[in-house]
A = this chain, B = another copy of it.
Amino acid sequence: MHETLLKNIASFIELTDEEKEYFLSILRPKKLRKRQYHVQAGDMCRYETYVVKGCLRQYYVDDEGIEHTVSFAIEDWWTSDMYGLITGNPSLTNIEAIEDSELLLIEKNDFDKLVLAVPKFERLFRIKLQRAFVAHQRRIVENMSMPADQRYLNFTEQYPSLEQRLPLKLIASYLGITPESLSRIRRQLVKGK
Contacts and interface: CB of A to CB of B under 8 A. Distances in A.
Main SS at interface, chain A: helix
Copies in the complex: 2
A176 interface: yes
Contacts of A140: 70, 136, 139-140, 143
Given A68-B141, A176-B143, A82 B130 contact: yes
A123 interface: yes
A63 to B, nearest CB: 8
B83 A144 contact: no
Given A62-B145, A144-B68, A83 B137 contact: yes
Interface in A111-161: 115, 119, 122-123, 125-127, 129-134, 136-141, 143-146
Interface in A160-190: 176
Contacts of A119: 119, 122-123
A10 interface: no
Contacts of A85: 130
A1 interface: no
A82 B176 contact: no
Interface of A: 60, 62, 66, 68, 70-71, 82-83, 85-87, 115, 119, 122-123, 125-127, 129-134, 136-141, 143-146, 176
By Cβ-Cβ distance, the 9 closest A-B pairs, closest first, are A119-B119, A136-B136, A129-B129, A144-B176, A126-B126, A62-B145, A122-B122, A68-B144, A83-B134
